[in-house]
Amino acid sequence: MNYRISHPSKKINGTIELTASKSESNRALIIQALCEEEFEITNIAKAQDTETLKEILYTPGLQTIDVGPAGTTMRFLTAYYATRPGVRILAGSERMKQRPIGILVDALNQLGANITYVEKEGFPPLRVEGRTLKGGEIEIDGNVSSQFISALLLISPALQNGLVIKFKGEVTSRPYINMTLKMLEEFRVYGVWQGNAISVSKQAYHKKSEEDYTYNVEGDWSSASYWYAIVALAEEAELVIKGLKNPSLQGDAIVADVYSFFGVKTEYIPDGIKLTKVRVKDEHFGFDFSDCPDIAQTVAITTAALEIPSFFNGLQTLRLKETDRIVALQNELKKIGVEVEIRNDNAIKIIPPDSLQKPSFIKTYDDHRMAMAFASLALKFDSVIIEHPDVVKKSYPGFWNDLKKLGFVVEEV
């Protein structure tokens, strides 16, 4: 199945109730499972990854667990089950078997876990034998996925001797780590940065004392990036997005600052934000996405569509996502005449042509972000065809319906 996306007027006006944050929801679910006091999570994400994690955590007695393509779920559950009695096999999709997890497994085993590989060394599936972990001090490269660090931090209150993570080199994706630390604080577990290390003493999760306490998940700023792209590429635009906060726990809230370069004004309102298109474009653009890699694809497509020469770095984690996102961008932007020059695993240069050409179709590579980010091109051309559009269910199941609310025509072809 493919979708043809078009927008007759190229003008955007309306309101969107944004999908909830998958990152925040997944962290809240692990904390809920580890907390001895019961509490409810409201506005939990409907993303496939979150639904998978919730179903697994809410189903007792599972021994063989298939997380499918859910990378965060695999990493968080590896750490979680390392602290829970019993033996479990953690498996996933074929792509999951290609996503390295050795750094996390090595760290957990150093802390006292018993995790072994069922097939290929360093990759899922895993055999996890849960036990009480002694904890202690470990050393990790600072440029590893923040999901590895967050997985360790989420279980840190259960470690007998607490946890100290020392980082070698510069720490990338620091905002995602700080999000985890802030969520720990919400449940009265306190970790501190000490130079280039994080220390968490042995503690216990506790909910706040209000009788009717619930944890309410914020809207997802990385999903908001697609609407920023749409405002940037529209001829005229005024869009209200509900469910976002200022300040936010999420590092991807930086998207508001990034899109100011592309003529998108952000106004914070009581229940969200209001976006207005105020000017056309910048002459050139450069940015380091180390702290916000999930918005890099969307920004790349925006700069390409606005024909702005650009340089992106901090992209080292994009090759290890649902697909190799750097190569996927290179392949699909070539279809509109844009050259993506890969400088190294960390950096790309975007070189627009003299004039853009309409693409025949856009491949999604089983990657939700490819589908949603490229949909914005319907505002630059009479239409764009997106292959396998159902991939959006991984993070934003209602995306296509939300497009329709803003005047987009979404047709199955």
Kindly state the DSSP code that residue 217 receives in the 8-state scheme: P
State the Cα angle at 403 between 398 and 404, rounded to 5°. Answer: 100
The pair of three-digit structure tokens given for residue 294, joined into one six-digit string: 């999930």
Closest alpha carbon to 293 in 176, 371, 170, 375: 176
C-beta separation of 277 from 313 below 8 A: no
Closest alpha carbon to 148 in 69, 72, 59: 72
Q: Cα(367)–Cα(289) distance, rounded to whole angstroms? A: 19
**What are the DSSP calls for 226-260, one per residue?**
HHHHHHHHSSEEEEEEES--SS-S-GGGGHHHHGG
Establish whether 294 is a catalytic residue: yes
3-state secondary structure of 102: helix
C-beta separation of 3 from 371 below 8 A: no
| Burial class of residue 360 in the structure, from the number of CB atoms within 10 Å of its CB (0-12 exposed, 13-18 middle, 19+ buried) | exposed
Question: Chain centroid to CA 249: how far?
Answer: 13
Closest alpha carbon to 72 in 28, 122, 136, 121: 28
Catalytic residue among 49, 220, 294, 402: 294
Question: Chain centroid to CA 59: how far?
Answer: 25
What is the side-by-side order of every strand in the sheet holding 285-288?
Answer: 285-288, 310-313, 347-351, 339-344
Other residues' Cβ atoms within 10 Å of the Cβ of residue 267? 11
Closest alpha carbon to 79 in 145, 141, 18: 145
Those residues with Cβ within 8 angstroms of residue 192's Cβ, 6 or more apart along the chain or in another chain: 198, 199, 200
Q: How many CA atoms within 13 Å lie on the side-chain side of 155?
A: 30
* Residues marked as catalytic: 294
